[in-house]
Chain A
Amino acid sequence: MPDTVQTITFNPNASDLAVELQVLTPQHASYTIYLWDQAGANQIASWKGNNQSPSNDSYPLPSPLADNAHRLLQFDAPLIDAAGAGNQYQVDMIVYQEEKEIGRVSITGTMPATAYHATGMARLVSQTTEAV
């Protein structure tokens, strides 16, 4: 299966790798962020939340950081727009290293109905792995 998933490159020798979910449009949203193994069959970790609170939507990835090479980050986010269909939605999954953004998966579109399920995925790539 060809891997057409967006990649996000991180430095395994640096510190503080984290993933955050942002809902930038006026929908009520909940989400699950998954960290999968390279094959996408086994979950390493998952985090749940919603956009009710302005904080606590950022999660540190497990250490040692090098183990995250080739792993998949994915989110599922059910959205509800009380205005019904027609409003734009945008859900971004952002990866930070040492508090700097190193990659972003941005899923946008138009709400086709009152409720919609947004999903996005990225593969983590280690700078060292690529060099090797």
Chain B
Amino acid sequence: MKQFLIFLLTALCCTTAVFAQADSSQLITVDSVDIRNYKTGTDLAVPDIPAFKILGTQASDILRPSSWRELAVQAGEFLLNKGGVPNSFALEATPFMYLFGGTLSLAEYRNDFERILGLSRVSVATSASPLGGIDLAIGWRMTLLDYADPRLETGLDSRLWTLTDSMNAIYSRCRTKLGAFATQAQIDSCASTEITALRLNRIDTVIENFMERNWNRPIVDIGIAGLGRSGDSTFKGMRANKYQAWATYGLYIARKMQLVIGTSADISKDSLNTFYNASWNSGLRMYYGSNDLKGIIEANWSTIRNDKPSAGVNIGVEVAVQKGIWLDATYGAKSQSGSPLVFVPALSFKFGT
């Protein structure tokens, strides 16, 4: 666990250095924007959190990729406890956006090297272990490719600037007609017929079309996490007992479909307290639907060191309950050679800012 923490801190320091260098030469220009606020109206799915994933509370080992959020929260295992209290909880943050986003321009954000390093996300998760005690996990994720990120979509920019250029022509005509001392209300009134038509009929449509067209664009995520277990809630005597790494590629299949190919490898301690157990997990997940409501069907399989391989299927839905609040509900069946079929229902809520 100590080595993992050192790795995590090193990664944070490297990305901090890159952004400190970028900021020193930053000049305010017309299109210098605070990238943190450049969210647009899009509400893409909140991604899975690596630290949550390593808890092993979900039937799938695919790390669901999605565009970064400043802060994301995931709560799960509602079905374990009566009363709907979540048994596991995770938080993921993009710290560099808090520290440096205020002076990061859209142009700098679109520089692949800086963005990829800067959008590293760190996560922490905790869960009541079924073996007793508390599980604590920390994780790290990096998005290598993300065509769904509206901040990278220059096509959307172009369409919105076409609208402001059109509005500008209308305001300019009114200003020329009414003179410099016409009030803002008089200018707005003069331009209202044409401007209202533009605003109501086109801006929202442009953004909605962007969401529907982009939720399933290609994306590549990688992540790692470490899991430790403590005998009590003070986390004293915590020992690392599992490490896991993921790679996920989401690709566009058709207008309403996305195929996610995921793989992960993990190593964990055996009964002799040595890192001997290992497994390699792969899966294919298909999403079908719209940005706000998608059906999920998934097949996954695992090769386990010194044990029989297993395979499973999951079906479910991913729903945007409200803006920024997403619900995942899946029902899975898992089979290991020679063992009876195990059914795994899972429900998790995700919240992203």
Contacts and interface: CB of A to CB of B under 8 A. Distances in A.
Where chain A touches its partner, the secondary structure class is strand
B184 interface: yes
A121 B180 contact: yes
Given A34-B175, A76-B171, A115-B195, A22 B28 contact: yes
Contacts of A26: 33-35, 37-38, 106
Interface residues of A, number: 44
Contacts, number: 122
Interface residues of B, number: 43
A51 interface: yes
A82 B179 contact: no
A57 B30 contact: yes
Interface string B189-209: 001000100110001100100
A23 B188 contact: no
Nearest to A29: B164
B160 interface: yes
Contacts of B265: none
Contact of B180 (A48, A72, A80): A72
Nearest to B35: A26
Nearest to B180: A40
A2 B114 CA distance: 52
Interface string A1-32: 10000000000000000000111111011111
Interface in B159-183: 160-161, 163-165, 167-168, 171-172, 175-176, 179-181
Given A41-B180, A46-B172, A80 B31 contact: no
B106 to A, nearest CB: 8
A48 B93 CA distance: 41
Interface string B1-41: 00000000000000000000000000011111111011111
Nearest to A113: B199
A76 B180 CA distance: 10
Nearest to A54: B29
Interface in A34-71: 34, 36, 40-41, 43, 46, 48, 50-55, 57
A30 B339 CA distance: 66
B150 interface: yes
